Amino acid sequence: MVLKKIVHLFFIISGATIGYLYIPYIIRLLDFTDLAWAESPYLGAALGAIILFIISYWVANYIVDFLRWIEEGLVKIPIGDLLFGSLGLIIGLVTAFLINLPIQDTPIEFVSKVIPLFVTILLGYFGFQVGFRRRDELINLLSINRKDKKRGPTEGDNVDAVLPRPKILDTSVIIDGRIADICQTSFIEGTIIIPQFVLGELQHIADSSDVLKRNRGRRGLDVLNRIQKELPIRVEIYEGDFEEIQEVDSKLIKLAKVIGGIVVTNDFNLNKVCDLQGVHVLNINDLANAVKPVVLPGEELMVQVIKDGKEQNQGIAYLDDGTMIVVEEGRNYIGKTIEVLITSVLQTSAGRMIFAKPKLLEKAL
């Protein structure tokens, strides 16, 4: 194993260096022998190299395992997180170096030697944390600046008005499936953002033991494949995560704030939370209700009564868009297509409900 050989080589070099510098001094200090050749630094280097080489056989495996653990951890970190974390670490170390320059000239030995080490470790740590945790804000800032330079903004331009804001899909709207048809009609502009944590939740649903949940999750994955491969719209997978936040909805809101995006959902509760936190949101259900055909009292429609209603003698029919029509005295017409007269329209949080009565009864009156 190459890594293990490197560890052995490191121990040999370290042992030779320590032996060269200190073993002759230790021999003279202990007055161990009167032989002059015993105090040779080269003999000390050889002795130190042999001693640490033997010790390395006991500790090499532990060191290799520790290095492997660090390697696996670094490989799992997204490249963006690693890049900005390293950039923050470099900035922290450079700042520490500049701060330590006057401190090292202090005549007090404790201050000149201990304080610089403490400052270097502290600022290096804080630099890495700031770069790692604020990576999304930095990416957003750089992307906005790049787009501004490329576009060549003129006086009075509004960035939000010229550049379409990215649309962030949540799990519910992906499973719903209508978002693919909306994207196909080009009503949604800009980049579609699919966060990695949403994909993880969707995968978890698709792997559920419950048949209904499993089918919904698989349908959501099929919808994503269609959006990404078949539709003429740009799709990006957001690899980052907000580890300090547990709930997916809260992560979506945080991501929308960071990148200046718009959350696309059909979740009523998420819609309300976004409104409270000042995050722009597009609700598919609101869009569906907005494009339903307008039906006014007094109009006549041809409908098919398919079942009885909750109240006595009521029948239930539906428009092509799924809007429910309650037909008064329509129970006797179940299974028949009749002409009805609209009496009232009720808008509820669940959608629109239309009340009507058979036109035959109106003529009879």
Query: What's the confidence (pLDDT) of residue 155?
Result: 46
* pLDDT value at residue 142: 61
Q: Which residue is listed with tokens 């009523």?
A: 268
What CA–CA distance (Å, rounded) separates 155 from 250? 36
Other residues' Cβ atoms within 10 Å of the Cβ of residue 312: 8
Show the low-confidence residues of the chain (pLDDT under 70).
1, 30-39, 77-78, 80, 109-110, 135-163, 348-351, 362-365
Residue 174: CB partners within 8 Å, gap ≥ 6? 194, 198, 202, 220, 223, 224
Instruction: Tell me the fold of 300-364.
Output: OB fold (Dihydrolipoamide Acetyltransferase, E2P) (2.40.50)
| Per-residue pLDDT, 154 | 47
Whether residue 16 contacts residue 46, with contact meaning beta carbons closer than 8 Å, is answered with yes
- Identical fold, 164-289 and 300-364: no
Largest CA distance in the chain: 134
- Taking a C-beta distance cutoff of 8 angstroms, is the pair 340, 300 a contact? yes
- Return d(Cα 217, Cα 212) in angstroms, integer: 9
Paired tokens of 73: 């951890």
Closest among 305, 292, 294 to 359, alpha carbons compared: 305
Residue 305 exposed, middle or buried by CB count within 10 Å (0-12, 13-18, 19+): buried
As its CATH architecture, domain 164-289 has 3-Layer(aba) Sandwich (3.40)
Q: Whole-model pTM?
A: 0.49
Q: Indicate the pairing of strand 307-308 with strand 315-318.
A: antiparallel
What integer pLDDT is reported at residue 148 of this predicted model? 47
Which 3 state secondary structure label does DSSP give 87?
helix
pLDDT of residue 34: 57
Task: Report how far residue 176's alpha carbon sits from residue 178's, in angstroms, rounded to the nearest whole number.
Answer: 6
Q: Where are the domains of the chain?
A: 2-133, 164-289, 300-364
C-alpha distances in Å from residue 202, one per residue of 68, 215, 228, 229: 31, 11, 16, 18
* Cα 216 off chain centre by: 21
Q: Which two tokens stand for residue 64?
A: 């290799």
**H or E element, residue 237:** strand 235-238
pLDDT tens for each residue of 215-245? 888 888 888 888 888 887 888 888 777 777 8
